[in-house]
Amino acid sequence: MVIENIEITVIKSARKTVAIQIKPDGRIYVRAPFDMTDSEVRDFVSEKTDWINKTLRKFEDLEKKGGEIIPLTQQQINELKQKAFVYIEPKLKKYAALLRVEPAKLTVRNQKTCWGSCSKNGNISINCLVMFMPEEVIEYIIVHELCHLKEMNHSKNFWLEVGRILPRYKNSRKWLKENGSQIMKLNFSGKINNKIL
Query: Has residue 113 been placed in a domain?
Result: yes
Beta pairing, strands 64-65 & 19-22: unpaired
Domain of 36?
Answer: 2-60
Residues 144 and 97 in one domain: yes
Query: Has residue 127 been placed in a domain?
Result: yes
Of the listed ranges 61-65, 149-153, 178-182, the one predicted with least confidence: 61-65
Is the distance from CB of 115 to CB of 127 less than 8 angstroms? Answer: yes
Tell me the average pLDDT across 95-101.
Answer: 96
Rounded to whole angstroms, the Cα distance separating 48 from 41 reads 11
Query: Has residue 88 been placed in a domain?
Result: yes
Residues 56 and 81 in one domain: no
Rounded to whole angstroms, the Cα distance separating 21 from 58 reads 14
Is the distance from CB of 189 to CB of 109 less than 8 angstroms? Answer: yes
Residues 131 and 82 in one domain: yes
pLDDT tens-digit map of 101-126: 999 999 998 877 789 999 989 999 99
pLDDT tens-digit map of 39-54: 998 888 888 888 888 7
Residues contacting residue 101 through CB under 8 Å, at least 6 positions apart: 146, 149, 150
Final residue of a structural domain among 36, 60, 84: 60
Total domain count for the chain? 2
CA dist 69 → 65, 131, 172 (Å): 6, 18, 24
Mapped onto helix, strand or coil, the DSSP state of residue 6 is strand
Query: Has residue 156 been placed in a domain?
Result: yes
pTM for the structure as a whole:
0.64
Residues 107 and 46 in one domain: no
Query: Has residue 27 been placed in a domain?
Result: yes
Residues 90 and 163 in one domain: yes
Question: Domain containing 133 — which CATH number?
Answer: 3.30.2010.10
Residues 96 and 39 in one domain: no
Residues 42 and 103 in one domain: no
Percentage of the chain exceeding pLDDT 90: 41
pLDDT number for residue 88? 95
Residues 106 and 24 in one domain: no
Query: Has residue 122 been placed in a domain?
Result: yes
Final residue of a structural domain among 27, 60, 93: 60
CA dist 70 → 19, 94, 108, 112 (Å): 28, 35, 22, 16
Query: Has residue 65 been placed in a domain?
Result: no
Residues 152 and 108 in one domain: yes
Q: Measuring CA to CA, which residue among 142, 150, 171 is closest to residue 17?
A: 171
Residues 161 and 87 in one domain: yes
Mapped onto helix, strand or coil, the DSSP state of residue 30 is strand
Residues 78 and 56 in one domain: no
Final residue of a structural domain among 60, 90, 106: 60
Higher per-residue pLDDT: 21 or 187: 21
Of the listed ranges 15-19, 66-70, 78-82, the one predicted with least confidence: 66-70
Query: Has residue 140 been placed in a domain?
Result: yes
Determine how many CB atoms are found less than 10 A away from the CB of residue 17: 10
Beta pairing, strands 28-33 & 9-13: parallel
Residues 126 and 163 in one domain: yes
**pLDDT at residue 69 above 80?**
no
Of the listed ranges 68-77, 157-166, 175-184, the one predicted with least confidence: 68-77
